[in-house]
């Protein structure tokens, strides 16, 4: 009986988490393996990225050996624009990754196997990211014409007039 309990405790999944650093860079932790990592930018004329909007996908990396063969996320560091060892960049298709413009909000998604993923929004000021929450922002679909909507009503999501004040009010406190 003790052996079974020890095995169950030892196999516990730890949700993936991401710590943002200058660059931006993303330092991951958890018990899973990285199946893909994505960064989304706002559509032209907008200030906040819409999660899952493939038209807004600005950087996408995945394991070169296949979905289930990603690196352990524990201590894995990804620098925007530089695919880590054993990963390939599929977006953009060029080798040069465009610099992320400042003073807008981006969305990242760390898809993992064997543990829950991590996701979040960050505001970029120069090379300095600030992790924020964007209350009430959902998307109307997961494929096709993805538009930002209010989660509660399905109405179009209206971006804040003062983005800097919005960032200050919605900064993730760690």
Say which DSSP state 156 is in: B
Residue 11 is predicted with a pLDDT of: 60
Residue 125 is predicted with a pLDDT of 97
pLDDT at 65: 93
Tens place of pLDDT per residue across the chain (174 aa) = 443 433 444 568 999 999 999 999 999 999 999 999 999 999 999 999 999 899 999 999 999 999 989 999 999 999 999 999 999 999 999 888 999 999 999 999 999 999 999 999 999 999 999 999 999 999 998 877 789 999 999 999 999 999 999 999 999 987
pLDDT at 142: 80
Which token pair is 35?
């199946």
126 touches 68 (CB < 8 A): no
Phi-psi region of 37 (alpha: psi -120 to 50; beta: other; left: phi over 0): beta
CB atoms within 10 A of CB 43: 16
Q: What's the pLDDT score for residue 1?
A: 46
pLDDT in tens, 63-114: 999 998 999 999 999 999 999 999 999 999 988 899 999 999 999 999 999 9
21: left (phi over 0), alpha (psi -120 to 50) or beta: beta
The CATH number of 15-129 is: 2.60.40
DSSP E strands, the chain: 17-21, 25-29, 33-40, 57-63, 77-79, 87-91, 104-113, 118-125, 128-132, 137-139, 148-150
């Amino acid at each position: 009986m003790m052996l079974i309990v020890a095995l169950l405790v030892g196999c516990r999944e730890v949700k993936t988490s991401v710590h943002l650093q200058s660059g931006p860079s993303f330092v991951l932790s958890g018990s899973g393996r990285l199946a893909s990592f994505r960064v989304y930018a706002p559509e032209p004329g907008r200030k906040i990225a819409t999660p899952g909007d493939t038209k807004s996908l600005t950087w996408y990396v995945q394991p070169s050996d296949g979905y289930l063969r990603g690196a352990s996320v524990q201590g894995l560091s990804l620098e925007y624009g530089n695919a880590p060892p054993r990963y390939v960049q599929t977006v953009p298709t060029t080798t040069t990754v465009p610099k992320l413009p400042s003073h807008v909000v981006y969305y990242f998604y760390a898809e993992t196997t064997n543990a829950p993923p991590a996701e979040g929004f960050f505001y970029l000021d120069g090379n300095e990211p600030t992790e924020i929450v964007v209350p009430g922002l959902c998307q109307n679909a997961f494929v096709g014409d993805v538009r930002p909507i209010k989660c509660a009503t399905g109405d179009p999501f209206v971006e804040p007039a003062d983005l800097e004040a919005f960032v200050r009010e919605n900064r993730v406190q760690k």
